[in-house]
Amino acid sequence: MSPTEGHSVVERIRASTRGWHEDLEGTPFSRAMLAGTLPLDRYVDQLAAYRTVLAALEGELSRAADPRLASVWSADLVKLSHIDRDLMYFAEDGVFPASTAAAPADAFAREIRGAAASDPLALLGFLYVLEGSTLGGMILRRYVAEAYGLRDTDGVAYYASGDRERWAGFTARLNGALAGPGEPDRVITATARAYHHVAAISVALSAGLPAAP
């Protein structure tokens, strides 16, 4: 039996991306967030970068005619409105994005739009990574709220949007949607591309921050 035989698509994705998770957690941006020392403008810049990415991804998924995408995508996965709420909250306090990570975010958005035209299944790999990031946000939310003195979901609506039950439903639909030859491999390849872009965003957001000890 091959190393992947008998494993679900999601199990294969999880195994193939474990190293990416560890690398992202080691960036100065991620470490500063956990330490409560991340400058507020960098947090807001991350929200702005993710807004660029999610606007492209959610837009393409909502327009997709491919039945495999339609069987996985659902309105309850929309995150753009949460980020808009956060950005508006900080704008009212005079804190605006400085576009620190605008270039890598734009590059990710361009790849999303290109994939929608050339290989729509790749969108499911991108979605896996972005939806999965909100599960991590359930943990990070506390650190962010404490660092900036935030209450309830003010400024952390995106980080508070993770939901384990929704994630279970999403991954179950993803496993069920990919039955054709080579389809799982195409989605797994796309998750690696998504992590590449997320890492580029994190590196940009780390500029000037103290290096990890």
CATH number at 53 reads 1.20.910.10
Among 202, 90, 98, residue whose Cα is nearest residue 140: 202
pLDDT at residue 24, as a whole number = 81
pLDDT at residue 171, as a whole number = 93
Domain that holds residue 191: 9-205
Over its length of 213 residues, how does the chain's per-residue pLDDT go in tens digits?
Answer: 333 445 788 888 888 777 777 778 889 999 999 999 999 999 999 999 999 999 999 999 999 999 999 999 999 999 999 999 999 999 999 999 998 999 999 999 999 999 999 999 999 999 999 998 888 888 889 999 999 999 999 999 999 998 899 999 999 999 999 888 889 899 999 999 999 999 999 999 999 998 755
**121 domain residue, yes or no:** yes
What is the rounded CA–CA span in Å between residue 122 and residue 197? Answer: 14
Among 205, 197, 191, residue whose Cα is nearest residue 97: 205
**3 domain residue, yes or no:** no
**89 domain residue, yes or no:** yes
Which positions ≥6 away from 168 have C-beta within 8 Å? none
What is the rounded CA–CA span in Å between residue 108 and residue 124? Answer: 14
What is the rounded CA–CA span in Å between residue 176 and residue 205? Answer: 36
What is the rounded CA–CA span in Å between residue 90 and residue 192? Answer: 32
**1 domain residue, yes or no:** no
pLDDT at residue 213, as a whole number = 57
Residue 184 near residue 178 (C-beta atoms within 8 A)? yes
**182 domain residue, yes or no:** yes
Residue 107 near residue 183 (C-beta atoms within 8 A)? no
Number of domains composing the chain: 1
**22 domain residue, yes or no:** yes
- The pTM is what? 0.92
**212 domain residue, yes or no:** no
- Segment 168-171 long-range contacts (CB within 8 Å, at least 24 positions apart): 170/72, 170/74, 170/77, 170/131, 171/10
**53 domain residue, yes or no:** yes
